[in-house]
Amino acid sequence: MRHDESRRLYDRALSVLAGGVNSSVRATQPYPFFVERGDGAHVIDADGNRYIDYVMGYGPLLYGHDAPEPVQAAVQKHSAAGPMYGAPTEIEVEHAEFVARHVPSVEMIRFVNSGTEATVSAVRLARATTGRDKIVIMQGGYHGAQESTLVKGEPGNVHPSTRGIPDSFAEHTIPVPFNDEETVREVFEQHGDDIAAVMTEPILANTGIVAPVDGYLQTLRDITEEHGSLLIFDEVITGFRVGGLQCAQGKFGVTPDITTFGKIIGGGFPVGAIGGKAQLVEQFTPGGDVFQSGTFSGHPVTMAAGHEYLNFAAENDVYDHVNRLGDDLRAGISDILEDQAPEYTVVGTDSMFKTMFTRDGVTPKNGADVSKAETDRWERVFWQEMKDHGVFLTANQFESQFVSYAHTDEDIERTLEAYKEAL
């Protein structure tokens, strides 16, 4: 495969964009391919190479690169009609009504512009509601580029995970191992009166894909209730991806106090949202006194795209299709691993999948298990091989991969062939 044009574009980009990209994960080695356009489940790069795409924009693209006709029509209509006003529009109300109708925890919602903004506001809301400062998060979990959650360590020894964040932020954050009831109980015994919220992805989706063990999410629900803390599910990735229109909270039957959304809920456009019981969410300004605001929040084009995205899923066999292909892919990869690399594991659910380069064939239960995997080998060898076989996977061991409605049985077969050869 030739990549001359991508290489040339990356050289140009390096002089004017930090690291040559606008989000860190895109800076694949030795240089990223630059995308010219999408086509169904595929992307075509600046040199004309075609790849089956499982990155899917890191999750938002439930339909691949050709959104259903009603989505495209709504986007065109709303861009032509404005595109935004600094005044409310009906489409924001319709989209909010849809989400409230389907997602168990949501009575009221505030739309924002990114998953990060959603989790920042959710934490602020939890702190304001409880009058407490501390939050419990999961080691290996990810909640975007927010100061309070970019931390590393364990209870009693927590530090910012990047330069530029004061230690005082980390003082209020307690990272615990996912799926470990004992540690979370100990943390609540010690700090229960100071904990505003436990915030977790219902499935860790930024550290491989780590499913909750039976009963773990319910334990978090019970323990937060017992101590007057809130439970926040960060469904930025899982929202409208896992568990269909009810999201992961519906699949696992555990209802949080607050849910954060992003990705799919914006139909491929920048978005975030904070949903929950009305008595919580209405504390945001202007109704309440927890400051929350944004020039682009509830942008009509995003709202229209997101709304038509979800409407289409409600009326068509979208989740059946993507989940079936997800099952086929996981089963196919699993067979290949059994044969060729039994020390590796395939993880995921619904339309999410990832091959973990574990060393013992054991499914990871938390972030520490995932970090023992052969992360370097994934990126430097396997990812490159798959790309050379025309399959675009997420470039590191930690990021999830997604099947879309545009993927076909033939895509899955070709992908499995590529796996066989690359492994």
Ligand X SMILES: N[C@H](C=O)CCC(=O)O
The binding track of 322-341 with respect to ligand X, each residue x by CB under 6 A or -, is --------------------
399 binds ligand X (CB under 6 A): yes
Minimum distance between the CB of residue 142 and ligand X, rounded to whole angstroms?
Answer: 6
Number of alpha helices (DSSP H) and beta strands (DSSP E) in the chain:
15, 16
Minimum distance between the CB of residue 201 and ligand X, rounded to whole angstroms?
Answer: 10
| 216 has catalytic annotation | no
21: phi then psi, degrees, rounded to nearest 5: -140, 175
Q: Which CB atom, from 95 or from 241, has the smaller least distance to ligand X? A: 241
Q: Which CB atom, from 59 or from 300, has the smaller least distance to ligand X? A: 59
Kindly name the residue from 234, 257, 350, 411 that is annotated as catalytic.
234
Minimum distance between the CB of residue 135 and ligand PLP, rounded to whole angstroms?
Answer: 14
Compute CA distances 347 → 47, 141, 159, 209, 367, whole Å. Answer: 33, 16, 30, 6, 14
Count of residues in the chain = 423
Minimum distance between the CB of residue 381 and ligand PLP, rounded to whole angstroms?
Answer: 25
Minimum distance between the CB of residue 329 and ligand X, rounded to whole angstroms?
Answer: 19
DSSP 290: B
| 31 has catalytic annotation | no
Neighbours of 108 (CB within 10 A): 18
Sites of contact with ligand PLP (CB under 6 A): 114-116, 119, 142-144, 201, 205-206, 234, 236-237, 262, 272
User: In sequence order, which residues have a C-beta less than 8 Å from that of residue 28 and are 6 or more positions away?
Assistant: 379, 383, 395
User: In sequence order, which residues have a C-beta less than 8 Å from that of residue 163 and are 6 or more positions away?
Assistant: none
Amino acid at 385: E
Core vs surface per residue 238-262: b (16+ CB within 10 A) or e:
bbbbbbbbbbbbbbbebbbbbbbbb
Residue 143 interacts, among ligand PLP, ligand X, none and using kind-specific CB cut-offs from 5 to 8 Å, with: ligand PLP
Q: Which CB atom, from 185 or from 251, has the smaller least distance to ligand PLP? A: 251
Amino acid at 205: A
Residue 201 interacts, among ligand PLP, ligand X, none and using kind-specific CB cut-offs from 5 to 8 Å, with: ligand PLP
Q: Which CB atom, from 10 or from 58, has the smaller least distance to ligand X? A: 58
Q: Which CB atom, from 206 or from 229, has the smaller least distance to ligand X? A: 206
Token pair listed for 164:
């530029």
Minimum distance between the CB of residue 148 and ligand PLP, rounded to whole angstroms?
Answer: 12
Residue 350 interacts, among ligand PLP, ligand X, none and using kind-specific CB cut-offs from 5 to 8 Å, with: none
| 251 has catalytic annotation | no
157 binds ligand X (CB under 6 A): no
* DSSP string covering 47-75: TS-EEEESSGGGTT-TTTTS--HHHHHHH
H-run or E-run covering 199: strand 195-200
The answer to whether 118 touches 284, Cβ cutoff 8 Å, is: no
Kindly name the residue from 134, 263, 354, 365 that is annotated as catalytic.
263
Which residue of 1, 14, 25, 213 would you call a contact of ligand X, by CB under 6 A?
25
206 binds ligand X (CB under 6 A): yes
Kindly name the residue from 51, 142, 309, 419 that is annotated as catalytic.
142
Binding residues (CB under 6 A) for ligand X: these are 23, 25, 58-59, 142, 206, 237, 399
Active site residues: 142, 234, 263
